[in-house]
């Protein structure tokens, strides 16, 4: 079982244009659609498409359109009733794959909501294989929220392995807290933010690997760094791997990073080596980018056998 927490989920509306976006002009869409979203929710959706057991934890009333959409997609969810409504995000995609997102801030959560959400996560994390903490935080939750979730889950005894995919102050606070997690999944921009280095990592994967190793030294047991069209890195204390995929025609990059994390977890659950976990991660990410909106791929949509995986460093005899 893989449990995901999305503290600031969203009902994502994707508008697909047939021409380039023209600011200030009237344009007609060629397609549009609504899908439940948010990083953790997307991971759960991808895991379900892969046949794995998962449950998505999120704040939201049972009647909220977000929860209604999850039920329509048969995505198992445990929700914390709140007074506000789950936010709506708008994504505009252009024919060349350029994606523009407009994200709302999300509903205001109270101190009682904060405590109840942590308790809900801790209860569902008991006996799980992985807990995924993903996405931004809504108004009302302090930047140390993820660190407090990890502490609460670990206080229950032998808990699940924990993966985190976030950014900004919540991610900085988590790493600074020293609680230590099993995996983080930054993209190039987030990796630069966490290491206070220039964001040149898509052009210089070796620099990205060096930056990721500083995060391993600070207590992150593994770093899965996604670098867009340049593939991804997996960095541990023992070795570093890089994987790339053949180019794809991108329709929407929304959720591609979430799909990459889901692919990694899928391969891990099947007992794959680090190299094959990374191969499945980049295959899932590439497949998601080729699909419309925030559609999550199934394994049948992916081609991990086409991934080129190289071991960049070898500091032990680990496979």
Q: Hey, which residues are catalytic here?
A: 258
Burial class of 157 by CB neighbour count within 10 A (0 to 12, 13 to 18, 19+): exposed
**Residues forming a β-bridge with 165:** 134
User: Which run of H or of E encompasses 59?
Assistant: strand 54-59
Token reading at 186? 């930054």
Burial class of 38 by CB neighbour count within 10 A (0 to 12, 13 to 18, 19+): buried
CA dist., res. 55 & res. 250, Å (int):
29
For 22-144, where are the alpha helices, taking DSSP H only? 39-49, 65-72, 111-125
CA dist., res. 107 & res. 209, Å (int):
37
A 10 A CB-CB count for 178 gives: 9
């Amino acid at each position: 079982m893989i449990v995901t927490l999305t503290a600031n989920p969203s009902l994502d509306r994707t508008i697909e244009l047939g021409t380039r976006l023209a600011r200030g002009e009237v344009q007609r869409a060629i397609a549009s659609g609504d899908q439940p979203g948010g990083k953790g929710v997307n991971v759960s959706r991808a895991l379900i498409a892969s046949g794995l057991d998962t449950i998505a934890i999120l704040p939201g009333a049972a009647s909220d359109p977000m929860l209604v959409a999850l039920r329509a997609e048969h995505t198992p969810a445990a929700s914390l009733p709140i007074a506000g409504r789950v936010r709506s995000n708008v994504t505009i995609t252009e024919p060349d794959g350029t994606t523009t997102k407009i994200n709302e801030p999300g509903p205001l959560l109270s101190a009682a909501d904060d405590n109840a959400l942590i308790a809900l996560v801790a209860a569902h994390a008991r006996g799980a294989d992985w807990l995924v903490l993903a996405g931004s935080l809504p108004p009302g939750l302090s930047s140390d929220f993820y660190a407090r979730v990890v502490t609460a889950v670990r206080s229950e005894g032998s808990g699940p392995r924990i993966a985190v995919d976030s950014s900004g102050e919540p991610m900085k606070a988590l790493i600074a807290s020293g609680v230590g997690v099993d995996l983080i999944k930054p993209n190039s921009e987030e990796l630069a933010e966490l290491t206070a280095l220039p964001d040149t990592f898509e052009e210089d994967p070796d620099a990205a690997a060096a930056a990721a190793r500083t995060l391993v030294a600070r207590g992150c047991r593994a770093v899965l760094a996604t670098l867009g069209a340049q593939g991804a890195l997996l960095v541990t204390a023992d070795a570093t791997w890089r994987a790339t995929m053949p180019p794809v025609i991108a329709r929407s990059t929304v959720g591609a990073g979430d799909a990459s994390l889901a692919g990694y977890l899928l391969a891990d659950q099947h007992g794959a080596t680090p190299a094959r976990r990374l191969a499945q991660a980049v295959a899932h990410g590439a497949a998601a980018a080729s699909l419309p909106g925030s559609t999550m791929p199934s394994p049948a949509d992916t081609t991990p056998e086409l991934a080129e995986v190289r071991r960049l460093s070898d500091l032990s005899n680990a496979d």
